[in-house]
Chain A
Amino acid sequence: MKGFDLTAILGNPEYMAMLVHGIEMTFVIAICSWLLAMSLAVLLLAIRFSPGRIGNPVVAAYVSYHRNVPTLVQLMLWYFGIYTILPMGVSDWLSAHSAEMIFAVLGLGLCQAAYFSEDLRSGLRSVNPGQLEAARALGHGYISAMRFVLVPQGVRNALPALVNHSVSLFKNSSLAIVIGAPELSHAIKEIENLSFRTFEIYLVGTVLYLVFSLMIMGAGAWLTWRADPVNGAGR
């Protein structure tokens, strides 16, 4: 064991460049999959609330699959499984455009969409049904009642759960290491292999993850407080 020496990592421009690149890629994965997940979640919710007969069970099955299969296995199925059965043209295009990143975003985003849509749904369901009737009685149409009365309250109810799941999405971006995406934990492993300073680099990595997660939690707490200064502050 060499003595504890953080500067061996932090003072080395090569390692620092790898770390910064890792952080960038982690944020690319996290932000892209968050956007994918949120838009898909709204779509899933719209299908759930629309009158069709077929849509509802399909969405329920989607949510159930993505919540009951480990995220890591979903990523493996995407990258080691689905990637290989795609038509040649598509897989060639993907391998030319960093397939690991694309599948990481796809896998994490589709998985998180299930959680987000359930959060939003239970948020909306916890709004008193009388609110919709009152809005209709005041002359709002269904869409406008949703837009101005139900959705704002529902999203406000769902906020704490959405924030928690956004944090876990950020943390889950580290799972992309198994499919070889060049994100932060991948960079940490690489620097460990190059420098043999396991303790120092793990410490740096842990602190980085912790700081970013706490920032997301803090932003979430602020948003929750903004949306509801009286009841939302304690979260």
Chain B
Amino acid sequence: MIHDMIDIVREYWLLLLIGQYPNGPLGGLANTLILSALSIAIAFPFAILLAFARLSKYRALRWPVTVLVYVTRGVPLLMLVLWSYFLVPLLTGADVPSFFTMLATLVVYQGAFLSEIIRAGIVALGQGQMDAARALGHGWFGAMRYVILPQALYNMIPSMLSTFVATIKDTTLGYVINVPDLTFAASQVNNQLLTQPFQVFLILALTYYVICWSLTALTNVVERRITRRRAGLLAPKRPLPVSLTRNATEQP
């Protein structure tokens, strides 16, 4: 069985890695990673704005964003994928590749999740930071830009990394609308072989495992370092309790 798996990898590694790239659209693992990185990169500034809106004192700003956050928390990602598969071509009036449809979905979905993380980070800093910055003559935006966000975002690096892991796992849902990612490539391999579905899907699962596991391990290292930095350089270098280092990956 292991021989079968090695043979499959030897035969199809290029397809799994970049899809049918020179002859077709970029796909495979490369596309999965590009899709996740791109959606986080776009979702991030968007999420900061959403977090500001949720913390705002104006109801007209706070309520729509609260509704958006609850909708994305309460509705399965699959439903959102179906929505954008229907709406994105309708709104743009063009035949959009499924890659961009999935990108739009992930930006909205992860933007809402990230905004909650950022909001929590800003709230966790405490009102005192804002008050002190304002007392020193910063305006609201200046205080945010120079005092609050640098600290809050630094403390949130681990949560962001685990959001990235969650995004990699979320890209698999592109399978439903035929986004050419790793899962799609694996099912193509399966359709060509037909006889060894277990081996193919095991390879798929193990590939995701290796990627997500290493990123989660990185997250834990970064988190430990940041917690130590926050505790001050003089703090004793004892191992942290496990409860602080657990990774907060979301699902699926």
Contacts and interface: CB of A to CB of B under 8 A. Distances in A.
Interface residues of A, number: 45
Contacts of A82: 198
A172 B213 CA distance: 21
Contacts, number: 129
Contacts of A143: none
B216 A68 contact: yes
Interface string B225-252: 0000000000000000111001101111
Contacts of B204: 73, 76-77
Interface in A61-87: 64-65, 67-74, 76-77, 80-82, 84-85
A174 to B, nearest CB: 4
A205 interface: yes
Interface in A189-225: 189, 198-199, 202, 205-206, 209-210, 213-214, 217
B86 A217 contact: no
Interface residues of B, number: 45
Interface in B190-216: 190, 197-202, 204-205, 208-209, 212-213, 216
A134 interface: no
Nearest to B170: A70
B82 interface: yes
Contacts of A84: 197-198
A213 B73 contact: yes
A122 interface: yes
Interface stretch (A11-19, A32-40, A163-171): A163-171
Interface stretch (B22-30, B92-100, B124-132, B172-180): B172-180
Contact of A172 (B200, B247, B251): B251
